[in-house]
Amino acid sequence: MSAGVVKVGLLGLGTVGGGVIKTIRSQQEKLSSRLGKRIEIVKALVRDSEKERAVELDRSVLTTDFEEVLKSDVDIVVEVMGGVEPTYDYVRALIEKGCHVVTANKELLAKRGTELVDLANRHQVHLAYEASVAGGIPILSVLRQFLRTNDINGVRGILNGTTNFILTKMETEQLPYQEVLRQAQELGYAEADPRSDVEGFDAMYKLYILAQLVYGESLPLAEVKRRGIADLTSGQIRIASELGYRIKLIAQAQQAPEGIRLSVEPTMLPTNHPLAQIQDAFNAVQLSGNIVGDLLFTGRGAGELPTASAVVEDLAYLLTQPFTPHPEWKETEAATGSVTQQNGDHSLCYLEGSAPAATPDRVLHFLRHAGVDVHKLKVQFDLGGVLRAGLITSGMRAEHEELLQSDFGLQVRCFPLLGSVE
């Protein structure tokens, strides 16, 4: 490392990369006095060097050739370009060269993290990734440093800002899904391919990383139960709200006697549940330690500056720390047996259809005889005679859903339910 300067290379100069440069510039004085050195961006890898950027940068710093970054005298590289290919090869080459790496790339970590952690340990370089989970919330450092003695049974949270923003706007402003998704993209919340957000992949990658830190192991991604929000309808959101519930994309890790279970799925929460209060692009992580009790961390989960905050804090922290090996990452077999229900076997089911047989009385009669308890019911008929109903049930099984469909012509969607049923 040159005297008086830390030379930083950037892989990517989009939303987060731009935020990193802005943050280093605005906080340079503070960073210099903390580190005793100035931070200088010496190389920034992009795809298109002609593109207009949100930050001004000397043209000699920009490159489209990774070899230029690799051959330069950078001390640390910040990887904020995303994806796995060619990113994995680049990060690997940098670690092998002895460069410290800070990354915000949860997909890379969830897919190749076990190898990268091992490689960084073998080359005695830091691999830091606070920004990869829950944006600006410093949850990973807390787990790694301040929750190592507690037994943590389960972790749940809202880990994707884009989907939380979409669900909030669909509910509170009745905006259509596509329009809010576009807003999330414009605000820099969404992934380059937003299917990663709306289909639950992004939250699944973050959950995988959380599980590695909480349990010292995770499941192969193929074993994680994952469902996104892309098929949710405004009718489902509205009827949930009328029943006193709110839909959130909840990521959850549970420790069962047979092993850990990971799931990401739209879940119904009573509106007074702490996670139901998390709106817009905010994220939250809720966990419980046997010594400390319940904890809830919340903050901005996506966007230029919250994410840059996590990246730059990581960068500054590792520059003040000697290398210590990172705990190994492992993958384990999925637990067998049925997944534990969130709240007994309560669910909120949304029914919609226009067949003459589908009257509320007939549907309730059928459910009662099938052994399904209905705790709360909200029925709407629109002018065209379409039945829309929301039911809080217990004992609803896949076979009941199929019969409601075949015998009553109803579309049925049941959501797991968190929290108390009034």
Ligand X SMILES: NC(=O)C1=CN([C@@H]2O[C@H](COP(=O)(O)OP(=O)(O)OC[C@H]3O[C@@H](n4cnc5c(N)ncnc54)[C@H](OP(=O)(O)O)[C@@H]3O)[C@@H](O)[C@H]2O)C=CC1
Ligand Y SMILES: N[C@@H](CC=O)C(=O)O
Which among ligand X, ligand Y, none contacts residue 197 (Cβ within 5 to 8 A by kind)? ligand Y
Which among ligand X, ligand Y, none contacts residue 390 (Cβ within 5 to 8 A by kind)? none
According to the binding rule CB under 6 A, does residue 190 interact with ligand Y? yes
Near ligand X by CB under 6 A: residue from 7, 8, 14, 346 = 14
Q: Strand 259-270 relative to strand 245-256: parallel, antiparallel, unpaired?
A: antiparallel
Cβ atoms of 370 and 397 within 8 Å: the answer is no
Q: What is the DSSP string of 26-47?
A: HTHHHHHHHHSSEEEEEEEE-S
Near ligand X by CB under 6 A: residue from 25, 47, 362, 397 = 47
Which among ligand X, ligand Y, none contacts residue 287 (Cβ within 5 to 8 A by kind)? none
**Beta strand ranges found along 51-165 (DSSP E):** 62-63, 76-79, 100-103, 127-128, 152-158
Instruction: Provide the 3-class DSSP secondary structure of residue 16.
Output: helix
Near ligand Y by CB under 6 A: residue from 87, 103, 105, 160 = 160
Instruction: Provide the 3-class DSSP secondary structure of residue 151.
Output: coil
According to the binding rule CB under 6 A, does residue 139 interact with ligand X? no
Alpha helices in 173-289 (DSSP H): 177-186, 195-198, 201-215, 234-242
Of 226-234, 248-256, 301-309, 395-403, which part binds ligand X (CB under 6 A)?
301-309
Per DSSP, 72 falls in state S
Cβ atoms of 288 and 372 within 8 Å: the answer is no
Closer CB to ligand Y, 253 or 417, in the complex:
253
Near ligand Y by CB under 6 A: residue from 197, 199, 314, 352 = 197
Instruction: Provide the 3-class DSSP secondary structure of residue 351.
Output: strand
Q: Strand 346-353 relative to strand 282-289: parallel, antiparallel, unpaired?
A: unpaired
Cβ atoms of 390 and 240 within 8 Å: the answer is yes
Near ligand X by CB under 6 A: residue from 23, 105, 160, 298 = 105
Closer CB to ligand X, 192 or 292, in the complex:
192
Closer CB to ligand X, 228 or 419, in the complex:
228
Of 1-9, 109-117, 145-153, 184-192, which part binds ligand Y (CB under 6 A)?
184-192
Cβ atoms of 135 and 277 within 8 Å: the answer is no
CA distances from 133 to 3, 12, 54, 312 (A): 33, 18, 24, 15
Q: Is 71 a catalytic residue?
A: no
Which residue has its beta carbon closest to ligand Y? 162
Query: Cα dihedral sign for 351, 356, 359, 363?
Result: negative
According to the binding rule CB under 6 A, does residue 162 interact with ligand Y? yes
Residue among 106, 111, 206, 248 flagged as catalytic = 206
According to the binding rule CB under 6 A, does residue 113 interact with ligand X? no
Of the candidates 283, 261, 326, 301, the one whose C-alpha atom is nearest the C-alpha of residue 113 is 326
Near ligand X by CB under 6 A: residue from 6, 16, 91, 391 = 16
Token readout for 376 is 């709360």
Near ligand X by CB under 6 A: residue from 299, 303, 390, 416 = 303
According to the binding rule CB under 6 A, does residue 202 interact with ligand Y? yes
User: What's the CA gap between 150 and 107, in Å, rounded?
Assistant: 28
Token readout for 146 is 């301040």
- The 3-state secondary structure of 122-177 reads HHCCCEECHHHCCCCCCHHHHHHHHCCCCCEEEEEEECCHHHHHHHHHHHHCCCCH
According to the binding rule CB under 6 A, does residue 135 interact with ligand Y? yes
Which among ligand Y, ligand X, none contacts residue 47 (Cβ within 5 to 8 A by kind)? ligand X
Closer CB to ligand X, 38 or 53, in the complex:
53
Of 15-23, 225-233, 235-243, 265-273, which part binds ligand X (CB under 6 A)?
15-23
Closer CB to ligand Y, 162 or 168, in the complex:
162
According to the binding rule CB under 6 A, does residue 17 interact with ligand X? yes
List, by residue number, the catalytic residues. 206
Residues engaged in binding ligand Y (CB under 6 A): 135, 160-162, 189-191, 197, 202, 301-302
Residues engaged in binding ligand X (CB under 6 A): 12-17, 45-48, 51, 80-82, 86, 104-106, 131, 135, 188-189, 191-192, 302-303, 307
